[in-house]
Amino acid sequence: MTAVATKLDIDTRYALSAEQIGFFRENGYIKLKQVLSPEVLAYYGPAITKKVLELNRNTLPMAERTTYNKAFIQVGNLWTKCDTVKEFVFGKRLARIAAELLGVTGVRMWHDQALYKEPSGGFTPWHADQYYWPMASEKSVTAWIPHQATPLEMGPLAFAKKSHTFECGRELKISDESEVQISKAMHDQGFQYVEEPFDLGEVSFHYGWTFHRAGPNVTDRAREVMTIIYMDEDMRLKQPTNDNQTADWKAWCPGTQIGEVMKTHLNPVIYSSR
């Protein structure tokens, strides 16, 4: 392998320790340093950004947007629209981390999603991702991948430590209501609020049911973040419990029947040890 190829590698194993795996399962999230090299981010980041700008429909002036739309530009399944992005999203390094953290033989993709918080972009309200996903188990994880070092002023992802087993608030979508109600619940239950900057190359992973939020971006630079949502390669579709889960069923795993493994052409296995 050449020096350039080594720097751009997205497939080799990232050595997780037993302590790191234990931390994730106990606390519902983990931040891992030096997961991706600066060269990887410099190579793939511009391709992701180009597609985000091409596909963005969130163009109202900030003052005219809802809280949700102030929080970020959101574009999903970029891998289906750009071969360079597909190459990145199909990288086995991140997927293997996801599988090892979840304790499963392999993971398939639920979908990817760019979350770009513009300069002067607002806060992201408290929520749990799996509110939106019709999945039959908790074996899902989001990799949150900043393209740049992300100080507190940019609105890095923040977590309620150990909240992934707490069920109050799971019925709330991202909204002003979720910000108020979940914030109170996290405070009342004594969950530690973890808000820290991200170094360049640092990536976080959190369970689908871990409560999290992000502050506003008060800098003059966009907070560019790519996410990849992984699920157990044997994940089955459950009966949706809200309209958003029904919409995601149709969007991200079309044709799957309730009780079946979610294995459509949009949900390829990215890593498996089988």
Amino acid at site 140? S
Mean pLDDT of the chain: 96
Asked whether the beta carbons of 249 and 134 are under 8 A apart, the reply is yes
Instruction: Give the pair of three-digit tokens for residue 31.
Output: 């931040």
User: pLDDT digits over 7-33, tens only?
Assistant: 689 999 999 999 999 999 999 999 999
CA angle 142, 148, 154 (to 5 degrees): 85
- Average pLDDT for 53-73: 93
- The candidate with the shortest Cα–Cα distance to 27, out of 180, 202, 205, is 205
Map out the domains of the chain with their CATH numbers. 7-249 (2.60.120.620)
* Cα 131 from Cα 128, distance rounded (Å): 6
Q: What percentage of residues in the chain have a pLDDT greater than 70?
A: 97
User: pLDDT digits over 215-267, tens only?
Assistant: 999 999 999 999 999 999 999 999 999 999 999 999 999 999 999 999 999 99
Beta strands per DSSP E along the chain: 29-32, 73-76, 106-116, 124-127, 140-146, 157-160, 193-195, 203-207, 212-214, 225-232, 269-272
Asked whether the beta carbons of 127 and 194 are under 8 A apart, the reply is no
According to the model, what pLDDT value does residue 6 have?
55
According to the model, what pLDDT value does residue 8 have?
86
User: pLDDT digits over 75-123, tens only?
Assistant: 999 999 999 999 999 999 999 999 999 999 999 999 999 999 999 999 9
According to the model, what pLDDT value does residue 1 have?
41
Helices (H), the chain: 3-7, 18-27, 38-55, 67-71, 83-89, 92-102, 176-189, 243-252
Q: What percentage of residues in the chain have a pLDDT greater than 90?
A: 97
- The candidate with the shortest Cα–Cα distance to 159, out of 114, 124, 118, is 124
